[in-house]
Structure 1
Amino acid sequence: MQNFLEATQKFYDADLKAVDFIGAPEDCRLEINGWVEQQTENKIKDLLKSGTVGPMTRLALVNAIYFKGSWLNRFVEANTKEMPFKLNQNESKPVQMMYQRKKLPFNYMPDYSLRILELPYVREELSMFVLLPDESTDGSDPLLKLEKKLTQKKLDEWTKRDNMDTQSDVVVHLPKFKLEEDYELKEPLGKMGMTDVFSGAKADLSGMNGEGGLFLSTVAHKAFVEVNEEGTEAAAATAGMAFFCMAREEYFRADHPFLFFIRHNKTKSILFFGRFSSPQ
């Protein structure tokens, strides 16, 4: 067990701890929840619900992600106004809508009736991409249509910097939002073919405890994402010549349901992927 603990810390920077699920399951649950709360700056609380673990629990896997990024080009708070967010053709809800006009990477895919906007974070290692389908004209759900067509290959192609317009000013309206969701992943993982690890008869996790008899009882995941005006403000003064012309403008008005994802740009790894379909 000690060798495994040291290896997980050394190679994965992950914490693994032996606890007494049999004798004190509730204390274990509270301890795990406390660790998650600390790691996520108090944003994710009560990851493991009451009754999630018990005397029969042998191994629990928890995964909690908290992300706070500063926009490279922040939204000015004074420009945020209440506007209607259209849930569908007949319903809407008020939302705090942020605004800015900047040169931002933008792409319009006419074959998919889709607008894509990249909002880089400071240092541009990470970016948020917003995928905004055109509004429906026939009563269908454009977001559902988009989700059915999405593949990793398409996302990579659509969001390549070479395929995006970086020269046009983009007039952006984007709602402030906060999303918090938790999931029990045992069933979805099972449907993907990951079944043996949940079976006491089939699981072989002897590399962890050196004995066997260990199997995964629960997999809990919770994510918290908050999008607002905050960002890093920068100012610079440079002497030079100025030329004026009429700039091309694109419009990105996210006042109806959209998808978003946060990506590590160098590796193309998607850290978060979500949908915003209704203000709280």
Structure 2
Amino acid sequence: MDSLLLLFFAIAGVAAAPEFEFPPVYQRTQLGDSIDVSTMKVLKVAYESGEDKNVVSSPLGLMMLLSLYERAAGPAAKEELARFLGETDAKQSSEWYKDLSVKLSELEPQQLAVAHKIAVSDKYVLDEQFAAAARAYRSELDSVDFSKPKETAALINQWAAEKTKGLIKEPVSADSLTPDIAAALFNVIYFNGHWHVPFKAEDTKEKDFHVSRDSAVKKPMMHLLQSLYYAESKDLGAKMIELPYKEKGFRMVVVLPDQVDGLPSVLEKAAEKGLLSDVFRLSPAGRDIDLDMPKFDIRSNLDFNNILPKVGVSKIFQEAALGLVKDTPVKVSKAFQQAFIKVNEEGATAGAFTGAIVVPVSSVYTPPPAIKFSVDHPFLYLILYQDNILFAGTYTS
């Protein structure tokens, strides 16, 4: 059986954008719920299995490629993938992922770039139906010579660098490419966003970040005093804020456990039911949020050969897929993701929502005190487009 190399790349950053609509309105969808639960399952395993507890991942990139691979997979693999992708109707789910892939690929590429590439060995031909499905996902199809690993790696790396504005330069090494590869699937998700209300660099100060109940380190903490969407969840054991980007439809949600050592418990609960129910309970706090939040810069290399079996997907590495390469059974030999996120004060021109309230001259109005939100211990974060989680991660130190 020939091997199929399956690779994923993802990156998130901070930059510029068009005007922000206020207040934003988001609709919750069945696909968003499916992405939510699977994302949290992947993040929990990545957090638990990795030595570095600072994690960033884009399970959505994984899910889009797996939804495409599912079209060619064997029966046992299809069953596992259906459960992981949250399918009740496989055909409908496949259409949802295809439509989402198309919708995201049509957004302004300076804000969000979503791209797929299928590199097929020059010794093989893609199955016609699979090739048609791949094109419907807006995938690029290329014929390559895997017997020339340096040249092929250079082509793939050049594509990744172009799509990620040079921030992922050499995700594929020549050593990882072998002549027996029949095809390789790639995905890139690159997000480039500016805060709707930027932090001021001069307000960033070194403050304590509690890595445990009895240990703290100094971290550069950004500061913002602003009216934000806010929620508390007793069931989750955490409170949340939403930081909107200027880019329409994009936002970061910070999930801060109530306890310094509460992140594992929050991840456990999130992996069971997802986070969207709590995200959709976010609402205006009614007063300012006094926010302290660390700057952070994280790179993660995730081994999906290790992670996927722990979330119920193992048959893709064992069972032959007959509908991907014409007249040739293939299986997945390797799956990984390289991800990056940088969060700092940078932003474009600040937006503002301005209102005026008139009161009788004789009355005296005292605004309510601000809600203190100190992100000073391990936390979870999400970057969403509408109700779809693009990136999820943890920060612990």
Match of 2:204 in 1: 80
The structure richer in strand per residue is 2
Structure 2 counterparts to residues 202-221 of structure 1, below 5 A: 202-206=319-323, 208-221=324-337
Q: Report the Cα offset of residue 239 of structure 1.
A: 9.3
Query: SS of the residue aligned with 2:265?
Result: helix
**Cα 1:6/1:112, change in 2 over 3 Å:** closer
User: Contact (CA 8 Å) 1:62, 1:219: kept in 2 or not?
Assistant: no
Q: Does 1:156 align with 2:276?
A: yes
Q: Does 1:41 align with 2:165?
A: yes
User: Contact (CA 8 Å) 2:198, 2:350: kept in 1 or not?
Assistant: no
User: Contact (CA 8 Å) 2:198, 2:347: kept in 1 or not?
Assistant: yes
Which runs of no fewer than 5 residues in structure 1 stay unpaired?
A: none
Q: Within 2, Cα distance between the matches of 1:154 and 1:187?
A: 22
Q: Within 2, Cα distance between the matches of 1:46 and 1:33?
A: 5
Query: SS of the residue aligned with 1:189?
Result: helix
User: Contact (CA 8 Å) 2:196, 2:351: kept in 1 or not?
Assistant: no
User: Contact (CA 8 Å) 1:58, 1:216: kept in 2 or not?
Assistant: no
Match of 1:251 in 2: 372
Q: Report the Cα offset of residue 149 of structure 1.
A: 1.4
- TM-score normalised over the length of structure 2: 0.61
Aligned-CA RMSD value: 2.6
The structure richer in helix per residue is 2
Match of 1:16 in 2: 141
Residue type at the aligned position of 2:384: R
Residue type at the aligned position of 1:156: L
**Cα 1:232/1:152, change in 2 over 3 Å:** farther
Residue type at the aligned position of 1:81: K
Match of 1:71 in 2: 195
**Cα 1:46/1:89, change in 2 over 3 Å:** same
Identity, in percent, stands at: 30
Match of 1:168 in 2: 287
Which runs of no fewer than 5 residues in structure 2 stay unpaired?
A: 1-124, 360-364
Cα shift readout 1:94-149 (whole Å, capped 9, x = no counterpart): 2111101111001122454411011111144011110111234xxxx311111111
Q: Within 1, Cα distance between the matches of 2:236 and 2:307?
A: 29
Cα shift readout 1:181-216 (whole Å, capped 9, x = no counterpart): 1223233334445444434xx42243x432223333
User: Contact (CA 8 Å) 1:59, 1:216: kept in 2 or not?
Assistant: no
**Cα 1:188/1:205, change in 2 over 3 Å:** farther
Residue type at the aligned position of 2:166: N
Match of 1:261 in 2: 382
Q: Within 2, Cα distance between the matches of 1:82 and 1:235?
A: 27
Q: Within 1, Cα distance between the matches of 2:248 and 2:145?
A: 44
Cα shift readout 1:42-84 (whole Å, capped 9, x = no counterpart): 1112212452221232222333332221111111111111222
Cα shift readout 1:214-244 (whole Å, capped 9, x = no counterpart): 3333223111111111223246797965554
Q: Within 2, Cα distance between the matches of 1:274 and 1:186?
A: 19
**Cα 1:51/1:149, change in 2 over 3 Å:** same
Query: SS of the residue aligned with 1:36?
Result: helix
Residue type at the aligned position of 2:295: K
User: Contact (CA 8 Å) 2:316, 2:332: kept in 1 or not?
Assistant: yes
**Cα 1:221/1:231, change in 2 over 3 Å:** same
Match of 2:93 in 1: none
Query: SS of the residue aligned with 1:64?
Result: strand
Match of 1:272 in 2: 391
Match of 1:225 in 2: 341
Query: SS of the residue aligned with 1:67?
Result: strand
User: Contact (CA 8 Å) 2:238, 2:255: kept in 1 or not?
Assistant: yes
**Cα 1:144/1:17, change in 2 over 3 Å:** same
Q: Number of paired residues?
A: 266
Cα shift readout 1:249-279 (whole Å, capped 9, x = no counterpart): 21110111100011122xx11111100001x
Q: Does 1:132 align with 2:132?
A: no
Structure 2 counterparts to residues 83-162 of structure 1, below 5 A: 83-136=207-260, 141-151=261-271, 153=273, 155-161=275-281
User: Contact (CA 8 Å) 1:71, 1:232: kept in 2 or not?
Assistant: yes
Q: Within 1, Cα distance between the matches of 2:312 and 2:232?
A: 37
